[in-house]
Amino acid sequence: MKYAATTIMRTAAACSVAAALTAAGDEWSFDVEADAPSVVSCAVGRDFLWGCQLGWNSDWPFDAKHKEHLSFTLRLCRERLSHKDFFLYGELLGELPTPPGMPIVSGTWKRKPACRFRLPAAMGTIWRARDGRRLVCLVNVSGNEQPFTYRLDGAPARTLMLPPRSVRSIVE
């Protein structure tokens, strides 16, 4: 019985820590009940690119009406895990310049207080692993396919087509 009680207390403590770490969950820059998928994608996609924890404090992702929100968030989680040498153990080096002509996604995050936002439809960051390898990560938060062009260290420019609400990582 003592073991079970200790295990439950440790689990509760771990959940409390996780909840504290994801305190933005229910006020996570968006109102999942009211906001369009592009608004949610902007918040989640931007947080992912910056290396912020992707989490929530309620069961909203498991409601069938939020299937698209959950699907995008899970794609980002899988991407982070598949490139953990960069995202978990590495270093964010910076954001990639927004290509000219990139559409802007705008809206209002219904946090307290509400705030307007304007973000590029597709954004990118560059990360470095401990062993020096670099990773370019691109996220398209819009509902439309977007081209993203970037150049590293004077190398020829590279253009990738990003499907709607997608993530792509390239080890350079």
Q: State the DSSP H helix or E strand holding residue 55, giving kind and residue range, or none if neither.
A: none
Domain extents in the chain: 26-171
Q: Provide the pLDDT for residue 114.
A: 79
Task: Tell me the average pLDDT across 10-18.
Answer: 38
Listing DSSP states for 32-53 in one string gives TTTS-HHHHHHHHHHHHHTT--
Q: Which residue has the tokens 């964010």?
A: 92
List pLDDT tens digits, range 101-153.
999 998 887 777 878 889 999 999 999 999 999 999 999 999 999 999 999 99
Predicted TM-score (pTM) of the model is: 0.78
Q: Provide the pLDDT for residue 71.
A: 87
Q: Comparing C-alpha atoms, which of 152, 126, 96, 144 is closest to residue 161?
A: 144
